[in-house]
Structure 1
Amino acid sequence: MTMRAHVSTPGQSHHAEGMRAIHRALPEEVPIALVFNGTTQAVMMATPADLADFALGFALTEGIVTDHAQIEDFEIVDHAQGIEARFWLAEDRAQALASRRRAMAGPVGCGLCGIDSLEEAVRPVPWVQSDLRLMPADVARATDALRDHQHLHDLTRATHAAGFLLPGAGVTLAREDVGRHNALDKLIGALQQQGHPPGSGAAVMTSRLSVELVQKCAMAGIPVLIAVSAPTGAAVRLAEEAGITLVAFARGGGFDLYSHPYRITDEAQHVA
């Protein structure tokens, strides 16, 4: 069974002029089981597209692997009830995962649901070191540039996107999903698979900025996180602690800057 990212669905449209029959393209969401060495680590509701990127990004941002080379085998397996993304890890990574096993379930709006301790919700994240510098004009245009990559959103008006902004080059890579955290995992997985250094650019989001997005960027080594909407207070505090430049309300030619502002400068230099 091959699941599509969107489905055409009949309905009725009601307005002052009356009712008419319609067909809408709606984004699909299905259970995706992330399975490591035969054991399910998480089941996430996600859009069934770019699933190899999603699975790898999840494995990276959860600290299950630190490099693609630690994965010995990988496959996507369709089932009637959903999809399995099956990993076979190198022995040392499998043992490390077994030692910190935790249950996790992630419905579309949340990337932290189902964790088994408060400590996991506020787990320490690495400090992000990068020489990246971005021009203010590039940051102000970032979410507009991301719109050109939102093909599923154009069809459905119901998905989030995460893009990768390179200095002087604009948004060069993007992924979409019904969940903002899933979209970011897909982007991080794509960066790893395509060999793009995460520290060379910024993540651009179509959503609000919450703690789990900052955590994922820190785990991946992305130094700048830009979004069209507001951050939470906890996200700002975590970004400050992690060395991440947090940019919010990037729209209409402007933006708000909340942490580590030195990376946004008119004297920005291109980085390799």
Structure 2
Amino acid sequence: MSIADEHVRTFEEARGRLSAIAYRMLGTVADAEDAVQDTYVRWSGAEHGDVREPVAWLTRVLTNVCLNRLTSARARREEYVGPWLPEPVVTEEPLTTLAERESVSMAMLVVLERLTPPQRAVFVLREAFGHSHAEIAAVLDITEVSSQQLYRRARGHVADGRARFTTSAEECRRITERFLSAARGGDQEALRSLFVEDVVAWADGGGKTTAARRPVSGADRVTRYLAWMSRDIPGLVVDLPDINGTPGVVASIDGVTVLAVSLHIVDGAIADIYLVANPDKLARLVVP
């Protein structure tokens, strides 16, 4: 194997981890793929003899690429039509622990949008990938004390955002199946019984399809709002794959994905409903 091939292999071995970091940092698959590609370009042109730890080097470059992209993404999202939600992804490999499910959940990614880019970077590297503050400080070119301060602030925001998991994967699936049955069957009493009183429904249409442009709050209002899910639509197929680590709902019409629904379930009840209908965010969503 040539030296060039060895460098390519080193990068490919790290690609999965880099993609996972980038998705949690940026919230969309397309942006994550672009960030990973930018990192590869820089890796290809690097002086590899000066790189002692390739994975650490790649993580540092990728994180800083993501930080730059977050700054421009925030400006775009301020002009977004309606609520901006992360791009849903089907997680084919089962996530066995609450920590794994939480780190990639739609609820967590929504809360991470409220953090500053440095806070988000520190939180993702610390919580999802187990980096020490010394390692994070090296990645971001800051002091360990600064890393610890950013992490504490980020944890405070996350705690305020109720993005917590207290329900097992098995119970989440049962609740999701009951949600789908009640919504599709038009059983509003059964549907309302699944919600916490201050449940919120978030719909992301991006101005490209019909969707509520403001969050809908309260169990009664959300129940009435979801009445449209009981319509009889020709060619409709509904699947229940795992979306972002938890059971979700994917609807397609004549083979085209038109809706992805992710539920945030806390203590056995639905606290948030995330409905993604923006076709740009559904183009890559493939149900196995």
Higher strand share: 1
Higher helix share: 2
TM over 0.5: same fold? Answer: no
If the TM-score is normalised by the length of the shorter chain, which range does it land in?
A: under 0.3
